[in-house]
Amino acid sequence: MIPILTDAFWRGFELDLAEIKMSYLNWALGYAREPEEQYRHLFLWPEQTEYCAVNSRYGRAFAISPLGPGVRGVPRILNRPFPRGIDEIDVALKARLNSNTQRIRESIRAALQRKDFKQARQILLNFYWLKLGPHELLFDHIQFSQGDDPDKLEKGRWGLDESEKWATLTGIRNRVVNVIRYGEFLQTDYVKRLNRILPGFSPGSRSNFLTSGVSWNRYGLCAFDCGPILWSRKGFVHFKQVKKRMNELGWPYESYARQILKPLYHIALNYRRSPIWMPYEPEQGYSLKSMRRRGLDLYEVLDGISDEIDRLRNRITE
């Protein structure tokens, strides 16, 4: 029998995602190394000249950390039994995220088997919102962009492939991300196909959305090296509550991200504000050199947030 995903479960998962970002920042400040010269360009946006631990290209700085899955073609230096800067707490945290993400996949699969598409939809959107939603709103600031018509606002682009074809992994993922960005409705056609074989996969590879698209440390890794770190103010905030507020405020054409999030979440660390963002520092304070120069101040902030996460986790009851 698949365990029910209670609010206590979601609350713990939410705090684990916050804590893994803290673990990454602690590791980066103390142990991160710049990539070798031949790989350096893979981590830089066109406007960047220094290697950044925060706001790296596509979140690759997080990906090559011991907490990430790695980047194809870029070697990582890993020590045994634990990589430098990682301890038993971090290893246990990664294991817990892997286990609970598997539990989320199994719960979606069970809902699909009994044709409870409403439940499957809610679980999927809770997961994607926790992983990517606040990052999309608070850091990327791409809720809309100016199109060819200066009097018309167009929704911002998420990636190079903007299609929302339900028959492909990318199409489903694009649609899900746009749903959490704009507070839209995820049509049942997408939900029905979460556990079906999709075209475009090589033989023997992961062939459905659940096994490939529902992973805490694949896709959207920018959310882990760009934040924010936040958690629900009361109990656990489901995505449907965020969606309701978005719709009430006329998002994305009216309102702004903080107006949506502030009543629902405690924003412990916004990477678009100090002490992470420093407008007069190189790379706006995101470079590894800048962050290490301010390391003592950053450690003090991170320690305080870690203590609060521990306190909140100890109060969780099933």
Assess if residue 82 is contained within a domain. yes
Please tell me the least confidently modeled range out of 120-124, 220-224, 251-255.
251-255
Beta-bridge mates of residue 265: 232
- Kindly report the number of other CB atoms within 10 A of residue 198's CB atom: 20
Tell me how far apart the alpha carbons of residues 166 and 44 are, in angstroms, rounded to a whole number. Answer: 32
Q: Which residue has the tokens 């190079």?
A: 160
The predicted structure's pLDDT at residue 52: 97
54-98, pLDDT tens digit by residue?
999 999 999 999 999 988 888 876 666 777 888 888 999 999 999
Tell me how far apart the alpha carbons of residues 300 and 272 are, in angstroms, rounded to a whole number. Answer: 18
> Is pLDDT of 198 > 90?
no
> Is pLDDT of 204 > 60?
no
Assess if residue 95 is contained within a domain. yes
Tell me how far apart the alpha carbons of residues 18 and 97 are, in angstroms, rounded to a whole number. Answer: 11
| Alpha carbon 171 to chain centroid, angstroms | 19
The predicted structure's pLDDT at residue 232: 98
Q: What are phi and psi of 244, to 5 degrees?
A: -60, -45
Task: Indicate the pTM of the whole model.
Answer: 0.93
Tell me whether residue 211 is exposed, middle or buried, using C-beta atoms within 10 angstroms of its C-beta: 0 to 12, 13 to 18, 19 or more: middle
The predicted structure's pLDDT at residue 153: 64
Question: Higher confidence at residue 215 or residue 151?
Answer: 215
CB 70 within 8 A of CB 61: no
Structural domain count, the chain: 1
| Alpha carbon 137 to chain centroid, angstroms | 11
The predicted structure's pLDDT at residue 159: 60
Assess if residue 2 is contained within a domain. no
Mean pLDDT on 263-288: 96
The residue ranges of DSSP E strands in 120-264, in sequence order, are 145-146, 153-154, 229-232
The percentage of residues in the chain with a pLDDT greater than 90, rounded to a whole number, is 71
> Is pLDDT of 146 > 60?
no
The predicted structure's pLDDT at residue 196: 84
Assess if residue 167 is contained within a domain. yes
Q: How far is CA 187 from CA 95, 165, 192, 193, in A?
A: 33, 12, 9, 11
Consecutive H or E run containing 266: strand 265-269
> Is pLDDT of 43 > 80?
yes
Question: Higher confidence at residue 284 or residue 155?
Answer: 284
Assess if residue 1 is contained within a domain. no
The angle that helices 239-249 and 117-135 make with each other, rounded to 10 degrees, is: 70
Please choose, from the candidates 236, 231, 217, 224, the residue with its C-alpha nearest in 3D space to the C-alpha of residue 265: 231
Mean pLDDT on 209-229: 92
The predicted structure's pLDDT at residue 154: 67
> Is pLDDT of 206 > 60?
no
Assess if residue 94 is contained within a domain. yes
Tell me how far apart the alpha carbons of residues 102 and 204 are, in angstroms, rounded to a whole number. Answer: 20
Q: What are phi and psi of 269, to 5 degrees?
A: -150, 110
Rg for the chain (alpha carbons), in Å? 19
Assess if residue 251 is contained within a domain. yes
Range of the domain at 157: 7-314
Mean pLDDT on 25-35: 93
Assess if residue 292 is contained within a domain. yes
Mean pLDDT on 36-45: 94
Tell me how far apart the alpha carbons of residues 216 and 6 are, in angstroms, rounded to a whole number. Answer: 19
pLDDT interval class at 171 (50, 70, 90): confident
3-state secondary structure of 253: coil
Tell me how far apart the alpha carbons of residues 96 and 90 are, in angstroms, rounded to a whole number. Answer: 10
The predicted structure's pLDDT at residue 32: 92
Please tell me the least confidently modeled range out of 117-131, 193-207, 217-231.
193-207
The 3-state DSSP composition of the chain as helix, strand, coil percent (nearest 5) reads 50, 5, 45
The predicted structure's pLDDT at residue 105: 95
Average pLDDT, the chain: 89
The predicted structure's pLDDT at residue 88: 87
> Is pLDDT of 47 > 70?
yes
Please tell me the least confidently modeled range out of 74-83, 131-140, 266-275.
74-83
Q: What are phi and psi of 209, to 5 degrees?
A: -70, -35
The predicted structure's pLDDT at residue 254: 87
The predicted structure's pLDDT at residue 169: 83
